């Protein structure tokens, strides 16, 4: 197994570089990708990459930091449950208010709340860490709704760019997301090892696993400054608190009475909850023997697989969105390998390959689901409904973490939910296309011609 992970990582890197070159953005007037569009896209991607870097910088070290403070796996799980619970209870409503307070302001609120969350990590105190999990949970809801809502509104409403280029933007958004994840994964370990973690005043700590959190704070400050100076504000229909509460009721009614929205909500709940449950549980699956796997390299390989999936989505974007989504969700059911075939030192190689295949499907899934949401959700309630879509997902994760089933049962549940998400995505294939269709499009039309 010594060379297995490096060879797989190296192969993934080569494929990443090739597909990254093929799907690099170019100005092509035949698809509407004018200079104005390129400038707009760059303005969004710079802000997105800086702000999402903060999430990737601290994400891999949360569990390890809590463990270094002496918290047990059960206490660790409770802290994670609090985070997802906060995202479900508070994040849904706070992030939903982006339609009334403004999507730009919601992005700035994300930066502020995530800075608070990162600062609490310096304290070896369960109540203070709980506060950090609450603000972090709300921040996560804002990250995965406010940015996307701002982008769709500016792209379609203000600038009037073609629907084809919206898929282009989503593909680039997640390509950049995974590129940032790989880079932060590579620099995170050296930062964490640069200074020994030390308590300097009471339960206040510095150094060690806290270094990535401090880098995340710097990233958030830079991101907030950039957004403040370069983004314009946009809103939904709701202009006041009461209007926004009415908007939650209206959004819920829309989801319950619109089959396309309902299926989209179910697909998101099943797929993304499986993804978060996987994140919490993949480590012990691959650590079956006495040998400790290279977790940093494994994480980078996963992110490369996501990048390959996002590039694949862009390169073959002539495939209709719903077919792409159906393929991704059904393909992700490779989780049957750890769930039903088994977990052992001998099966680690096959489970790892299954995880890599799953991450490839994740890379395809996000651009596809973003395009599908842009088609079926009205602009007036976009942030509100996007957060309502995430509420069932957060609830499922909280319930599973609280139940804390064994690993085999957990992955059986994950594979079953992924299969069901594939079924719901397949049902969308039978629905008629919406009147205003936001089609997916190649990153640039000339790429296929040059190959």
**CATH classification at residue 165:** 1.20.1250.20
Tell me the average pLDDT of the chain.
82
Identify whether 3 is part of a domain.
no
Average pLDDT, stretch 401-426?
88
pLDDT at 214: 94
Instruction: Give me 371's structure tokens.
Output: 């395009």
Contact 66, 191 (CB under 8 A): no
Identify whether 189 is part of a domain.
yes
pLDDT at 438: 39
DSSP code of 318?
Answer: T
Please determine, for residue 199, whether its predicted confidence score (pLDDT) is greater than 60.
Answer: yes
Please state, in angstroms and rounded to a whole number, the distance separating the CA atoms of residues 276 and 88: 14
pLDDT at 309: 87
Please state, in angstroms and rounded to a whole number, the distance separating the CA atoms of residues 77 and 68: 15
Identify whether 180 is part of a domain.
yes
Q: How many Cα atoms are found within 13 Å in the side-chain-facing hemisphere of 225?
A: 6
Identify whether 87 is part of a domain.
yes
Alpha helices by DSSP H, 195-294? 210-230, 241-257, 259-286
Identify whether 343 is part of a domain.
yes
Please determine, for residue 267, whether its predicted confidence score (pLDDT) is greater than 50.
Answer: yes
Please determine, for residue 441, whether its predicted confidence score (pLDDT) is greater than 70.
Answer: no
Contact 414, 3 (CB under 8 A): no
- In tens, the pLDDT along 229-256 reads 999 998 776 555 566 677 778 888 888 9
237: enclosing H helix or E strand: none
Residue 447's pLDDT band, with cuts at 50, 70 and 90, is: very low
Residues 6+ apart with CB under 8 A from 43: 230, 231
Burial of 401 (0-12, 13-18, 19+ CB in 10 A): buried
Please determine, for residue 314, whether its predicted confidence score (pLDDT) is greater than 50.
Answer: yes
pLDDT at 47: 96
Instruction: Give me 445's structure tokens.
Output: 């039309």
Please state, in angstroms and rounded to a whole number, the distance separating the CA atoms of residues 182 and 185: 5
Lowest mean pLDDT among 32-46, 315-329, 385-399: 315-329
Instruction: Give me 75's structure tokens.
Output: 């206490």
Q: Over pLDDT 90: what percentage of the chain?
A: 23
DSSP code of 240?
Answer: S
Question: CA nearest 401: which of 388, 414, 391, 390?
Answer: 414
pTM of the model: 0.77
- In tens, the pLDDT along 63-87 reads 778 888 988 877 888 888 888 888 7
Please determine, for residue 1, whether its predicted confidence score (pLDDT) is greater than 80.
Answer: no
Identify whether 167 is part of a domain.
yes
- In tens, the pLDDT along 387-401 reads 788 889 888 988 888
End-to-end CA distance of the chain: 36
Residue pointed to by tokens 């990459």: 49
Residue 25's pLDDT band, with cuts at 50, 70 and 90, is: low
Domain, as residue range, for 139: 32-445
Q: Are strands 198-201 and 204-206 parallel, antiparallel or unpaired?
A: antiparallel
Please state, in angstroms and rounded to a whole number, the distance separating the CA atoms of residues 11 and 2: 15
pLDDT at 220: 97
Please determine, for residue 414, whether its predicted confidence score (pLDDT) is greater than 80.
Answer: yes
**What does 1-48 look like in DSSP terms, one character per residue?**
-TTHHHHHHHHHHHHHHHHHHHT----BGGGTB-HHHHHHHHHHHHHH
SS3 201: strand
Q: How far is CA 88 from CA 9, 96, 103, 175, 188, in A?
A: 35, 12, 19, 27, 29
Phi-psi region of 234 (alpha: psi -120 to 50; beta: other; left: phi over 0): beta
Contact 336, 351 (CB under 8 A): no
Q: Which residue has the higher pLDDT, 290 or 213?
A: 213
Identify whether 14 is part of a domain.
no
**What does 54-73 look like in DSSP terms, one character per residue?**
HHHHHGGGHHHHHHHTT--H
Please state, in angstroms and rounded to a whole number, the distance separating the CA atoms of residues 292 and 295: 8
Average pLDDT, stretch 125-133?
93
Please determine, for residue 436, whether its predicted confidence score (pLDDT) is greater than 50.
Answer: no
pLDDT at 130: 93
Identify whether 402 is part of a domain.
yes
Please determine, for residue 27, whether its predicted confidence score (pLDDT) is greater than 80.
Answer: no
194: enclosing H helix or E strand: helix 164-194
Please determine, for residue 406, whether its predicted confidence score (pLDDT) is greater than 80.
Answer: yes
Residue 304 phi, psi dihedral angles, 5° rounding: -65, -40
Please state, in angstroms and rounded to a whole number, the distance separating the CA atoms of residues 346 and 11: 22
Please determine, for residue 198, whether its predicted confidence score (pLDDT) is greater than 50.
Answer: yes
- Please tell me the total count of domains within the chain: 1
Alpha helices by DSSP H, 321-381? 321-331, 336, 348-376
pLDDT at 444: 32
Residue 139 phi, psi dihedral angles, 5° rounding: -60, -40
Q: Over pLDDT 70: what percentage of the chain?
A: 89
Distance of CA 195 to the CA centre of its chain: 30
DSSP code of 334?
Answer: G
Instruction: Give me 319's structure tokens.
Output: 């495939």
Residue 126's pLDDT band, with cuts at 50, 70 and 90, is: very high
């Amino acid at each position: 197994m010594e060379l297995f992970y490096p060879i797989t990582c190296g192969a993934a890197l080569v494929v990443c570089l090739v597909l990254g070159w093929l799907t690099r953005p170019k100005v092509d007037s035949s698809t509407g990708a004018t200079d104005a569009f390129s400038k707009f896209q760059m303005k969004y991607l710079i802000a997105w990459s800086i702000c999402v870097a903060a999430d990737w910088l601290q994400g891999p070290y949360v569990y390890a930091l809590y463990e270094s403070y002496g918290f047990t796996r059960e206490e660790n799980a409770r802290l994670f449950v609090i985070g997802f619970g906060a995202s479900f209870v508070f994040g849904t409503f706070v992030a939903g208010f982006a339609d009334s307070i403004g999507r730009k302001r919601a992005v700035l609120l994300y930066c502020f709340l995530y800075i608070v969350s990162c600062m609490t990590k310096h304290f070896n105190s369960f109540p203070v860490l709980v506060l950090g999990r609450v603000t972090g949970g709300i921040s996560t809801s804002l990250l995965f709704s406010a940015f996307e809502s701002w982008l769709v509104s500016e792209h379609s409403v203000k600038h009037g760019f073609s629907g084809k280029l919206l898929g282009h933007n989503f593909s680039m958004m997640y390509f950049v997301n995974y590129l940032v994840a790989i880079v932060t994964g590579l620099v995170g370990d050296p930062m964490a090892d640069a200074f020994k973690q030390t308590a300097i005043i009471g339960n206040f700590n510095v150094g060690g696993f806290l270094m990535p959190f401090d880098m995340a704070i710097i990233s958030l400050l830079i991101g907030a400054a950039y957004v403040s100076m370069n983004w314009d504000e946009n809103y939904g229909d709701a202009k006041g608190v009461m209007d926004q509460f009415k908007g939650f009721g209206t959004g819920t009614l829309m989801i319950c009475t619109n089959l396309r929205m309902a299926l989209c909500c179910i697909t998101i709940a099943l797929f993304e909850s499986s993804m978060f449950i996987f994140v919490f549980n993949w480590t012990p699956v691959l650590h079956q023997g006495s040998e400790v796997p290279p977790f940093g390299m494994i994480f980078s390989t996963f992110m490369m697989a996501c990048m390959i999936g996002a590039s694949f989505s862009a390169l073959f974007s002539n495939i209709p969105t719903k077919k792409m989504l159906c393929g991704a969700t059904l393909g992700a059911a490779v989780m049957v390998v750890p769930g039903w075939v088994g977990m052992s030192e001998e099966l680690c190689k096959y489970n790892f390959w299954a995880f890599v295949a799953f991450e490839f499907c994740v890379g395809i899934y996000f651009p596809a689901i973003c395009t599908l949401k842009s088609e079926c959700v009205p602009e007036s309630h976009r942030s509100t409904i996007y957060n309502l879509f995430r509420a069932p997902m957060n609830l499922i994760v909280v319930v599973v973490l609280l139940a804390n089933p064994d690993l085999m049962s957990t992955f059986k549940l994950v594979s079953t939910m992924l299969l069901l998400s594939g079924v719901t995505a397949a049902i969308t294939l039978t629905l008629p296309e919406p009147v205003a269709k936001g089609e997916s499009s190649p990153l640039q039309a000339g790429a296929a011609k040059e190959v």
